[in-house]
Structure 1
């Protein structure tokens, strides 16, 4: 995970340099500083710094992966990589109920919003507990 930490670290340094430059350039215009873009760049900088610290912290505490070692071979990465779930219909139903709730708010139909909450709870429960029963139960 060291290479990922380095990538986010370089991105953080870039954003630390770009954010004040953006503020200075937009402040030089006739309309004043663009606070929306400046705050978005600052928040992006902080988020990249947070990911950098997280990845750097965990890279120090875990054993080096084959791709992190200079003497690593391709065969060192052989074996099981993890659990990759098959296709699922539950994200579709969750997205559909969310769109129903957003539509209900847009047309101010609170009764439809409540129906969307109930259907969304069922869809979200199905997605969360998908691997507790059936063919893919653990």
Structure 2
């Protein structure tokens, strides 16, 4: 995580330098021409600084990963990388139910919104409990 902390730190420094330059170039201080861009850059700078502090704090408390070691080789990173779920049809059904609800609300067809809500509840339950039954049960 030290690499990620350094990347966000460099981004924070860049944004600290760019934000006042943007404010000066757009003359937001005198005429109030573009406070939106300046405030967006300030918030982006603070967000990057927050992520930098978080990653830097946790990088010191974690065991070093192979990416963090200078002597590491490619084989050191071998092994299980995590759990990747197989294909699933449930997200499509959830999206179709949500689009039905939104379409029903735009036409004020409450009866169709209720049907979409009931079917959406079934689809969401199927998505949540997908790994408890059927082909991919654990």
Query: Is the contact between residue 93 and residue 123 of structure 1 (CA under 8 Å) also seen in structure 2?
Result: yes
Q: Distance in 2 between matches of 1:17 and 1:11?
A: 10
- Taking structure 1 as the reference length, the TM-score comes to 0.79
Query: Is the contact between residue 2 and residue 56 of structure 2 (CA under 8 Å) also seen in structure 1?
Result: yes
- 1:33 equivalent in structure 2: 33
Query: Is the contact between residue 24 and residue 33 of structure 1 (CA under 8 Å) also seen in structure 2?
Result: no
Distance 1:57 1:136, change over 3 A: farther
1:49 maps onto 2:49 in alignment: yes
Higher-Rg member (1/2): 2
- 1:18 equivalent in structure 2: 18
Number of positions where the alignment pairs a residue of Structure 1 with one of Structure 2: 138
- 1:89 equivalent in structure 2: 89
Structure 1's consecutive aligned runs of 4 or more residues displaced over 4 angstroms after TM superposition are: 28-31
Query: Is the contact between residue 5 and residue 56 of structure 1 (CA under 8 Å) also seen in structure 2?
Result: yes
1:100 maps onto 2:100 in alignment: yes
- 2:133 equivalent in structure 1: 133
CA RMSD of aligned residues (A): 2.6
Residue ranges of structure 2 left out of the alignment (5+ in a row): none
| Secondary structure of 2:67 counterpart | helix
Per-residue deviation, 1:31: 6.4
Distance 1:42 1:106, change over 3 A: farther
Of residues 120-129 and 67-76 in structure 1, the stretch that sits farther from structure 2 once superposed is 120-129
Query: Is the contact between residue 23 and residue 33 of structure 1 (CA under 8 Å) also seen in structure 2?
Result: no
| Secondary structure of 1:82 counterpart | coil
Distance 1:19 1:65, change over 3 A: same
